[in-house]
Structure 1
Amino acid sequence: MTLADTTTPAAAPGRAALAVLLLGAVAVSFSGIFVKISELGPSATGFHRLFLALPLLLLWQGVEARHQTKAPARPQALRDFWILALPGLYLAADLVCWHWSIRLTTAATATLLGNTAPIFVTLIAWLVYGQRFRPGFVLGLAVALGGVAALIGAVHLDMTHIIGNLAGIGAGITYAGYIITIKAARERFSTAQVMTWTAVSGLVVMLVAALVSGESLVPMSLRGWAILVGLAWISQVGGQSMIAWALRHLPVAFSSVSMLVNPVATFFLAWFLVGERLTPWQILAGVVVLAGILIARLYSERRG
């Protein structure tokens, strides 16, 4: 399978898969709030996001193996293990960038920048695989990048916010890699297998990142543990698993557009739950980014 194959839209994507995808995106939207109020540092929070998800994922994998009439494919060759581990490496890089972005800027801004992944998916298709796009894609890309530039300078020009915004863009780039690799893994392995392997390979990287940055791995209160459990079970196991399942039944291009509900939901959650307020300029810049992504994705679905 080539990346170009992943950007070919299905003629009639299943309604159930679309509903699951949207529900998963909303569940993932809560992660920005959990990270914002976590008692631990960004990398340590990311470690527990994957570590605390493992028991549920392993239980799910065991139930799946017992109840399926056809046993799920098992990794055998070294290439199989690499296919299963690679999404976790991308996810870990995404979480490091995104969690730091949330701490250094607002949850809504970090999530919006992290959702520039559709742009980078199609850029990879163009630069690496030679896929050609209509001029409308270039227009959408220019609009989205212009909105990103406006968003970066919308609040403060101090170094903290600049680094936070750049980390958000880094999250968008690495999440694009995660979407591409998890789509490839789901072509051969079950959702439970992919999510379990993703958590295992990702948490190793997150543990190293937390230790290198000197972050504590133990919350100070039961509330701190509850936040981490909510992040792991609601956003990681629930949200990411629903997205992974839906990606098996929907084209990645269509999915990327549908998942734009994520930054919108995060904006409202951050507003009502943690009191984050966006300026009119930020809101306008965010709308421009979303519009650019939508235009680019619509035109990227047709080869020029």
Structure 2
Amino acid sequence: MTQAVSTAPSRNSLAMAALLLGGVAIGGSPIFVRLSEVGPMATAFWRVALALIPLVAWSQLRNGAVVDRRPEGLSDYALLVLPGVFLAVDLGAWHLSLTMTSVANATLLANLAPVFVTLASWVLFRSRVSPLFLAGLVTAVAGVVVLKGGPAALGGGDLAGDSIAIVAAMFYAGYILAIGRLRSRFSTNRIMIWSTASAAVCILPMTLLAEPSLLPPSAFGWAMLLGLALVSHAGGQVAITYALAYLPPAFSSLTLLLQPVVAAMLAWGLLSEPVGLLQAIGGTVVLIGILIARRG
């Protein structure tokens, strides 16, 4: 009994560390996307397609080392494919919104997924949502608004583009919830292989229709795609998927709000884009909101 009690906090601590690490890794994705030499949809395709290489390699290396339940029947396979479908629509909608509305609006609205995860967890699964968690969620979202320049900076968007960005947030919320339900039945690696492969299959037709070229013209372009696939997807999404076995989806989704903070810091360090007082205050408020939500 003592051993079981002592391992639970350690697992939760490890899951929390994985969650934060995953949020930071995904937060670097806008830098890779901006430096990519192919279009946004082609970048999204390579993001998931190239990520399959380390995922499948790791699966082969650990074959037989960990007991993992295998899918049984069509329903299990459908559940494993579902997160990839959600992710494909999310990436496609977000990249489309970037061409229709302001970057600030597209980034902020697409990062509202934690709000939809919380609502869906409460409505669909009757998950308890404490007032303190809601206070943290509102604080973190407010911090992202400040980070993006305040309400005045978000007024130059297009209604259709803003709506598509909100659709992206809703589908990413579906991705997080689907992963969270699967983690009680399958291993992280199995979920990631199936969801990543199905996302690649769904994104490829959209890419062929929307993009003039699928292949980057230089080694630098391939390096950016590999970085996006290995760091942001194979690294970040795997870490978050692991954490979802031990932490609630509503709280786990809050790591999305770390993305604009990390992106701003990386843009400052790598691209020499200035970070003003307003951005620093916004990033601090986001972190405070996440800490409040953790207490709740």
1:77 has 2:73 as partner = yes
How many aligned residue pairs are there?
A: 286
**Kindly tell me: are residues 13 and 163 of structure 1, through their superposed partners in 2, closer, same or farther at Cα, counting changes over 3 Å?**
farther
The 2-side partners of 1:146 and 1:57 are apart by: 36
CA distance in 2, matches of 1:119, 1:75: 31
Q: Which string of whole-angstrom CA distances, capped at 9 and with x for unpartnered residues, describes residues 164-203 of structure 1?
A: 6544433332221111111122211111111111111001
Other structure's SS at 1:250 match: coil
Residue 99 of structure 1, CA deviation? 3.5
Q: Which amino acid aligns with 1:170?
A: V
Tell me the residue number matched to 1:251.
248
Residues of 2 paired with 1:68 and 1:189: CA distance?
Answer: 15
Q: Distance in 1 between matches of 2:27 and 2:141?
A: 22
Query: What runs of 5+ residues in structure 1 fail to find an aligned partner?
Result: 1-9, 300-304
Please, what TM-score do these two structures have when normalized by structure 2? 0.79
Match runs of 1:10-25 below 5 Å: 14-25=12-23
Call closer, same or farther: CA 1:136–1:63 in 2, change over 3 Å.
closer
Distance 1:102 1:36, change over 3 A: farther
Is 2:131 aligned against 1:116?
no
For the 8 Å contact 1:118–1:293, the answer to whether it is kept is no
**TM-score, with structure 1 as normaliser:** 0.77
Matched ranges for 1:1-304 at <5 A: 14-65=12-63, 67-68=64-65, 70=67, 72-101=68-97, 105-106=102-103, 110-131=106-127, 133=129, 153-155=151-153, 157-159=155-157, 165-257=162-254, 260-277=257-274
Q: Which amino acid aligns with 1:123?
A: L
Question: Cα offset for 1:59?
Answer: 0.8
Structure 2 CA distance for partners of 1:126 and 1:294, relative to 1, 3 Å: farther
CA contact (8 A) 1:101 1:110 kept: yes
CA RMSD of aligned residues (A): 3.4
Separation in 2, partners of 1:139, 1:21:
20
Question: Could you tell me how far 1:85 is from its partner in structure 2?
Answer: 0.6
Q: How many Å apart are 1:64 and its aligned residue?
A: 1.9
Question: Residue 7 of structure 1 aligns with which residue?
Answer: none
In the aligned structure 2, how far is the partner of 1:288 from the partner of 1:216? 41
CA separation of 1:133/1:185 partners in 2, compared to 1, >3 Å: closer, same or farther?
A: closer
DSSP 3-state at the match of 2:267? helix
Q: Which moved more, 1:147-156 or 1:81-90?
A: 147-156
1:93 maps to amino acid: V
- Which moved further from structure 2: 113-122 or 96-105? 96-105
Is the Cα contact below 8 Å between 1:140 and 1:296 reproduced in 2?
A: yes
Deviations 1:222-277 (A, max 9, x none): 11111001100111111111111122233334433456433322221123223445
Contact 1:21 1:259 in 2 (8 A): no
Q: CA deviation at 1:289?
A: 7.0
- Paired residue secondary structure (1:40): coil
**Structure 2 Cα separation of the partners of residues 80 and 168 of structure 1:** 30
Contact 1:94–1:170 (8 Å) recurs in 2: yes
